[in-house]
Amino acid sequence: MQNSILDLKVIATKIRIDIIKMLNKAGSGHSGGSLSCVEILVALFWEKIKRTPENALDPDRDRFILSKGHGVPALYAVLAHRGVIPYDELFTLRKINSRLQGHPSRLDLPYVEASTGSLGQGLSIAQGIALAGKIDGKNYRVYCLLGDGEMQEGQVWEAIMSAPKFKLDNLCAIVDYNKGQIDGYVKDVMDIEPLVDKLRAFNWNVIEIDGHDFEQILTALDEAELVKGKPTFIVAHTVKGKGVSFMEDNHEWHGKAPNDEEAKLALAELEEQLNELLSQKMEAK
């Protein structure tokens, strides 16, 4: 691991601060599901995919598909912190003629692998890319992040059924299992449990983790690379709105951006968390 767990926590907190600032400036967007997937994205892009301006379009690059396209503010912030897009561009989110649309558009921003946001399609796209890699003899890996509400879509289960058939051990799916969707709690809208048992029954290698624990995330990603003959599905339990107390586990923040006062409160919490982490870093030196 190139970065310490403490380093990754600092990066994740900075990403959350940027998400709040972006959504506040845009006046619209999805807070809850952007905040819940931050550790997953940071672990991927700092320890596995390691996207840089030089390799962002390399044909042999590892791929990442954000199937839950509404969570794209988190991905944009990650790309900015990796230097792939200009940092100041983050604050054009959802503006007319901006490359940073409310859902990722590959036509506007080639650094995203697919235009997503019509829920249920991302895993199929990821499976196709993984299958192409196998056919072409490539060594790249394909990661796909889904939402839990999205897993109510039938197309997701078609991909879940077919990926093991083709022995796509270069494919790793991750579900951001924050238990909430726009209409309420997932279990009340259309329960997807027993999720782990279902995925194992479809012949996936399944790993269940705390999606905010970097050690667990990185261990799971390492294990996925070692599994041969079948794809891996990581069930990452997360908290919707993670990091901001009044947003946490509150589905009302699924598709809502903070106003100026709410943003001020959220940023105060996150900056306090950041300062505490930076103090820990100083003490560790």
Average pLDDT, 10 consecutive residues per value, the chain (285 residues): 91 98 98 98 96 90 97 98 97 97 95 95 98 97 98 98 98 98 96 98 98 98 98 98 98 96 98 97 85
Which CATH homologous superfamily contains domain 5-284?
A: Thiamin diphosphate (ThDP)-binding fold, Pyr/PP domains (3.40.50.970)
| Three-state SS annotation for the chain | CCCCHHHHHHHHHHHHHHHHHHHHHHCCCCCHHHHHCHHHHHHHHHHCCCCCCCCCCCCCCCEEEECCHHHHHHHHHHHHHCCCCCHHHHHHCCCCCCCCCCCCCCCCCCCCCCCCCCCCCHHHHHHHHHHHHHHHCCCCCEEEEEECHHHHCHHHHHHHHHHHHCCCCCEEEEEEECCEECCEEHHHHHCCCCHHHHHHHCCCEEEEEECCCHHHHHHHHHHHHHCCCCCEEEEEECCCCCCCCCCCCCHHHCCCCCCHHHHHHHHHHHHHHHHHHHHHHHHHC
- State the pLDDT at residue 50: 85
- State the pLDDT at residue 2: 78
Whole-structure pTM over 0.85, yes or no?
yes
- State the pLDDT at residue 142: 98
Tell me the C-alpha to C-alpha distance, in Å, between residue 124 and each of 4, 131, 173, 200: 34, 10, 11, 18
Please give the Cα distance from 73 to 94 (Å, whole number): 10
